[in-house]
Amino acid sequence: MTPPAVPAALGPLAALFVEDPDAVRAALRQFGSPLHLVFPQAFTGNLAALREALDRARLGYRICYAHKVNRSAAFARTAAHAGIGIDVASAPELRSALDAGFTGDRIEATGPKGAGMLAAARAAGVTVNVDNLWELETLAGLGATEVLLRVSGFAGSAPSRFGVDLAEFGTALALLVRHRDRVRLRGVAFHLDTASTAERVRAVEECLALIERAYAAGLTPTVLDIGGGLRQVFTADPTGYDAYDHALRAGLLGQGPVLHWGTSTFGYHVADGVVHGGAVFHKYANTDPAPALLTELLTAPLPGHGGRELGKVLADNLLELWLEPGKALVDQAGITVAQVEFVKRAGNGARLVHLNLSRDAVTAADQEVLIDPLVLTEPAESAPAGVYFAGHLCLERDLVTQRQVRVERMPVPGDPVVFANTAAYHTDLSAAGASMHPAPAKIAAVWHDGRFVLCPDADYRPGAR
Ligand SMILES: Cc1ncc(COP(=O)(O)O)c(C=O)c1O
């Protein structure tokens, strides 16, 4: 039995790009193989949709693009050109933001920061989203800094290593009051690693209470920053996802063909004849686009505020909503194209399709991707089959897919293989340079006058042709 297909959703630009295999091969010849492609126009489209959702809620807001999703200069420049803010999580990201045209007043520094990053952030005049009390004291020593205070430890949310625990808020507030002439509290922030609107609503209510406490202490915060976490849509067919997940679990139980490689079980384990645990790849099942999730949040009733809508409560209290979307802004704004080197059969009978890239170049934090790569192969007499895509590193673990993927025809050397929706974290979060393989080139692809204009990501300038 061949595994069920899990077709990837392809945004309009990605679909246009891959519909002409000759053009794809020409791009690989021109810029090298493999290639990461980014579509700045898809970024702009995503931004417009988020802005529309926020405008409908009639509240003041600031969108800070979370640079960490992708190193791309094209995305950073597109964000700068569009007039939004940017969230930087390291000194190199801060430099990249400044190079892209952001001024300090449109930059926010998040994440844990060392002394060097704090000094650089202060020198550039950026708002520092403070992670801990040491950062706050260090900034007070440096002086003249605007800050958000990131908090964590909300009831019902997973423990977080980031932010000041709610129990320490009083200590942070005392520091902010004591150093009010050197550090100005602009607002309160959180970032939750979840898609749950209910959890975000609880966090917002907690933060509104903290803002009240800050007012009572004589401070004047005006910002509530809800971080990122708006989701992407990867799948073209959620029933394909469900069918694959079902077949995978049947294989784990020995009740169907084995679809996983070796000991990779993707968060599942078998005990007493039952599959337990949750799949690490569950995000690939999502069908709710980010603007819809944002609207759901903005219109969610706040129980502590008479059930009034979250957006209205913020607007009525003259609070500005800040958000730091990363993956939502680059959803469907990038693909990766590799090529087949050769196909072989392993000792266990598995068919391995070897590619000229490694797992870490298309996989975020080693998590399995549950959408299928798309093989651009020539029509040939060959039946559908289940294959593992293998990477080019001398490491047993370098299987690009640690699960069998259905291919309609057996690929042959040279066939381009397209990985969909790779712009958020997949290409840049874990990529290493093992075995001296160079990183794939990153190319910006812009649709203009009925064709794609390609240029190295570093050379892309919004508005220029
Ligand atoms: C503080 C902060 N803000 C924003 C983001 C971006 O999140 P996402 O890509 O889920 O929108 C992250 C991601 O880790 C983060 O840590």
CA-329 nearest atom, ligand 1 = 11
- 350: tokens are 């598995």
Report CA(110)–ligand 1 centroid distance (Å): 9
Burial group, residue 274, by CB count within 10 angstroms (0-12, 13-18, 19+):
exposed
Over residues 45-79, the pLDDT tens digits come to: 999 999 999 999 999 999 999 999 999 999 999 99
Q: What is the pLDDT of residue 280?
A: 92
| Phi, psi of 392, rounded to the nearest 5 degrees | -100, 10
Q: What share of the chain is helix, strand, coil (3-state, %, to 5)?
A: 35, 25, 40
d(CA 28, CA 101): 30
Over 80: is that where the pLDDT of 213 sits? yes
- 10: tokens are 């392809």
Mutate to test the pocket of ligand 1, among 50, 64, 68 (most ligand atoms within 8 A of CB): 68
Asked if 130 contacts 147 with a C-beta cutoff of 8 angstroms, the reply is: yes
* Residue 20 DSSP class: -
Identify the CATH assignment for 12-39+332-459 out of 3.50.50.60, 1.25.40.10, 2.40.37.10, 3.40.718.10: 2.40.37.10
Least confident of 163-177, 292-306, 369-383: 369-383
Q: Whose CA is nearest to atom 10 of ligand 1?
A: 229
Report CA(161)–ligand 1 centroid distance (Å): 14
Per CATH, which fold does 41-231+286-323 belong to?
A: TIM Barrel (3.20.20)
Report CA(326)–ligand 1 centroid distance (Å): 6
Over residues 335-364, the pLDDT tens digits come to: 999 999 999 999 999 999 999 999 999 999
d(CA 179, CA 176): 5
Q: Which of 343, 200, 369 is nearest to 283 (CA)?
A: 369
Mutate to test the pocket of ligand 1, among 63, 84, 150, 324 (most ligand atoms within 8 A of CB): 324
Over 80: is that where the pLDDT of 380 sits? no
69-100 in b/e form (b: 16+ CB < 10 A) is: bbbbbbbbbbbbebebbbbbbbbebbebbbeb
Q: What is the pLDDT of residue 465?
A: 58
Q: Where are the domains of the chain?
A: 12-39+332-459, 41-231+286-323, 238-282
Report CA(374)–ligand 1 centroid distance (Å): 28
Q: Is residue 118 classed as helix, strand or coil in its secondary structure?
A: helix
Mutate to test the pocket of ligand 1, among 110, 191, 283, 330 (most ligand atoms within 8 A of CB): 191
Asked if 433 contacts 439 with a C-beta cutoff of 8 angstroms, the reply is: yes
Amino acid in position 36: H
Burial group, residue 325, by CB count within 10 angstroms (0-12, 13-18, 19+):
buried
d(CA 286, CA 292): 12
Band of pLDDT at residue 129, cut at 50, 70 and 90: very high
Over residues 144-192, the pLDDT tens digits come to: 999 999 999 999 999 999 999 999 999 999 999 999 999 999 999 999 9
Report CA(25)–ligand 1 centroid distance (Å): 34
For the chain, the maximum distance between any two Cα atoms, rounded to a whole number of angstroms, is 77
Angle at 229 between CA 224 and CA 232, to 5 degrees: 140
Q: What is the pLDDT of residue 257?
A: 95
CA-327 nearest atom, ligand 1 = 9
CA-424 nearest atom, ligand 1 = 9
Residues in contact with ligand 1 (CB, 6 Å cut-off): 66, 69, 87, 110, 191, 227-230, 324-328
Over 70: is that where the pLDDT of 431 sits? yes
d(CA 144, CA 175): 14
Report CA(134)–ligand 1 centroid distance (Å): 22
Distance of CA 203 to the CA centre of its chain: 21
Neighbouring residues of 369: CB distance < 8 A, sequence distance ≥ 6: 281, 284, 362, 363, 401, 419, 426
Q: What is the pLDDT of residue 435?
A: 86
